[in-house]
């Protein structure tokens, strides 16, 4: 298989390359593509140093699979080019997520929705974490509404944001007053309910991504969803406080039993031992960790829980790789069957 990674030098692109190696992803040729300013840079992969090439239309000739780890405007320009040249495309940006004809996929939840499409959109990282945790409950009990508050790490805004958190922390500890560059406010020893730009309805784009994408992935537009997204001074791994109104009555023990068997989920729910998920624990791991499962006192048939996952791994990268693995393994089996 000939694979291209668009945006190979960014935080998400580098994480994707790391996980491709860790999972021993089978490929015959790998093209690392980025902007002209990164051309000539070399990135280690599989024991060799691979050169970064300037992104242009010719780079997709002969490519079987293209991962896009770039902003929406770049995806809008080059995804159609990759498709025209015959590639199967997995796009991480928001460019195509809500287009009705483009499947928005989390493999543990709705892999069958891909159908015959050669373009698959990878959801927002916070959305992925949420739906992996709530989809098993939707299938078993049904869901009327979800209220979710996210506590999102600096890495969700890229490598420059992580550097800003580090430098500002050092500055504050020295008695200085850091000045924000990447973020609208200082991030060190601080938090703010502002991720992406604000919309006319008072929500941010990030919050509405969670609302709209969750409904599309779960396949039910009737579910009522509200979201508040908060940036916190954590390097990586997003946390979410999730409050759900189920359609059917279910005990806390029944909810735990469903989640314990759910694909991609790992339970950490022994409060008597101070056992519950944290960003430090989840960093570098692939699972979506769930704990603090309890009755929600505000909803009929309400369940509250605490969900944490490394958004650079599962949220931004592993999800895309899992899509590719399952799609191409299926194609391989089909060819073998013939």
Write out the catalytic residue numbers. 125, 238
Distances (CA, A) of 112 to 103, 106, 131, 187, 199: 9, 10, 16, 40, 33
| Contact (CB, 8 A) for 242 and 133 | yes
d(CA 158, CA 64): 27
Distances (CA, A) of 252 to 18, 134, 261, 268, 294: 38, 14, 15, 14, 6
Distances (CA, A) of 323 to 88, 108, 150, 328: 11, 10, 25, 9
Two tokens, residue 191: 């938090």
Query: Residues 6 or more apart from 190 whose CB is under 8 A from it?
Result: 233
Strands 88-91 and 143-152, by their bridges, are unpaired
Strands 88-91 and 29-34, by their bridges, are unpaired
**Burial level of 228, CB count in 10 A (0-12/13-18/19+)?**
middle
| Contact (CB, 8 A) for 3 and 65 | yes
Please list the residues that pair with 220 across neighbouring strands.
none
Strands 119-121 and 88-91, by their bridges, are parallel
């Amino acid at each position: 298989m000939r694979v291209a990674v668009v945006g190979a030098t960014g935080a998400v692109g580098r994480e994707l390359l790391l996980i491709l190696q860790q999972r021993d992803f089978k490929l015959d040729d790998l093209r690392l593509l980025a902007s002209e300013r990164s051309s000539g840079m070399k990135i280690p992969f599989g024991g060799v140093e691979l050169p970064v090439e300037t992104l242009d239309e010719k780079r997709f000739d002969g490519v079987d699979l293209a991962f896009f780890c770039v902003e929406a405007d770049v995806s809008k320009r080059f995804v159609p080019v990759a498709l025209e040249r015959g590639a199967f495309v997995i796009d991480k940006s928001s460019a195509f997520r809500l287009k009705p004809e483009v499947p928005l996929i989390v493999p543990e939840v709705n892999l069958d929705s891909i159908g015959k499409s050669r373009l698959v959109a990878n959801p927002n990282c916070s959305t992925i974490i949420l739906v992996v945790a709530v989809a098993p409950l939707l299938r078993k009990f049904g869901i009327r509404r979800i209220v979710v508050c996210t506590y999102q790490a600096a890495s969700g805004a890229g490598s420059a944001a992580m550097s800003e958190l580090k430098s500002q922390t050092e500055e504050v500890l020295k008695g200085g007053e850091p000045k924000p560059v990447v973020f609208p406010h200082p991030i060190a020893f601080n938090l703010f309910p502002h991720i992406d730009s604000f919309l006319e309805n008072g929500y941010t784009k990030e919050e509405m991504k969670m609302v709209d994408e969750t409904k599309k992935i779960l396949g039910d537009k009737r579910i009522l969803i509200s979201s508040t997204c908060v940036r916190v001074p954590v390097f990586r791994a997003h946390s979410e406080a999730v409050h759900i109104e189920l359609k059917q009555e279910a005990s806390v023990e029944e909810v735990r039993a469903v989640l314990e068997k759910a694909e991609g989920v790992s339970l950490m729910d022994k409060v008597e031992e101070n056992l519950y998920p944290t960003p430090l624990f989840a960093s570098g791991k692939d699972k979506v960790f769930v704990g603090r499962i309890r009755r929600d006192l505000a909803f009929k048939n309400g369940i509250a829980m605490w969900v944490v996952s490394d958004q650079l791994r599962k949220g931004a990268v592993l999800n895309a790789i899992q899509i590719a693995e399952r799609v191409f393994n299926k194609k391989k089996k089909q060819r073998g069957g013939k």
